[in-house]
Amino acid sequence: MIKMLTQIRMALFILLVAALVSPAISASPFKVETVVSGLEHPWGMAFLPDGRILVTERPGRLRIVERGKLLAEPVKGLPPIEAVGQGGLLDIALHPDYQNNGWIYFSYSEPKRGIIFSEYGTAVARARLKGHQLKELQLIFSMNKKSDGGRHFGSRLIFDRKNYLYITVGERGERERAQDLNDHAGSVIRLHDDGRIPNDNPFVKTKNARPEIYSYGHRNPQGMVLHPETGEVWLHEHGPQGGDEINRIFPGRNYGWPVITYGANYVTGTKIGEGTHKRGMEQPLHHWTPSIAPSGMAFYNDDKFKHWQGNLFVGSLKFQLLVRLELRDHKIIKEEQLLKQQLGRIRDVRNGPDGFLYLLTDADDGAIVRLLPES
Ordered DSSP codes for 251-299: TT-B--TTTB-S-B-TTT--B-TTBS--TTSPPPSEEESS---EEEEEE
Note down pLDDT in tens along the chain; length 375 residues: 444 444 444 444 333 333 333 333 455 689 999 999 999 999 999 999 999 999 999 999 999 999 999 999 999 999 999 999 999 999 999 999 999 999 999 999 999 988 788 999 999 999 999 999 999 999 999 999 999 999 999 999 999 999 999 999 999 999 999 999 999 999 999 999 999 999 999 999 999 999 999 999 999 999 999 999 999 999 999 999 999 999 999 999 999 999 999 999 999 999 999 999 999 999 999 999 999 999 999 999 999 999 999 999 999 999 999 999 999 988 999 999 999 999 999 999 999 999 999 999 999 999 999 999 997
SS3 343: coil
Task: Identify whether 147 is part of a domain.
Answer: yes
pLDDT of residue 51: 97
The Cα-based distances of 268 to 174, 264, 265, 291 in angstroms read: 18, 8, 6, 15
Task: Identify whether 189 is part of a domain.
Answer: yes
Q: Which domain holds residue 258?
A: 28-373
Task: Identify whether 14 is part of a domain.
Answer: no
- Look at the chain and report how many structural domains it folds into: 1
pLDDT of residue 28: 61
pLDDT of residue 335: 97
Q: Please tell me the pTM assigned to this model.
A: 0.92
Is the Cβ–Cβ distance between 257 and 176 less than 8 Å?
Answer: no
pLDDT of residue 19: 35
Task: Identify whether 34 is part of a domain.
Answer: yes
Q: Residue 155 gets which letter from DSSP?
A: -
SS3 16: helix
Task: Identify whether 193 is part of a domain.
Answer: yes
Is the Cβ–Cβ distance between 248 and 234 less than 8 Å?
Answer: yes
Active site residue ranges? 152
Task: Identify whether 103 is part of a domain.
Answer: yes
**How far apart are the C-alpha atoms of 215 and 230, rounded to whole Å?**
18
pLDDT of residue 27: 55
Where residue 176 sits, what CATH number does that domain have? 2.120.10.30
Task: Identify whether 240 is part of a domain.
Answer: yes
Task: Identify whether 159 is part of a domain.
Answer: yes
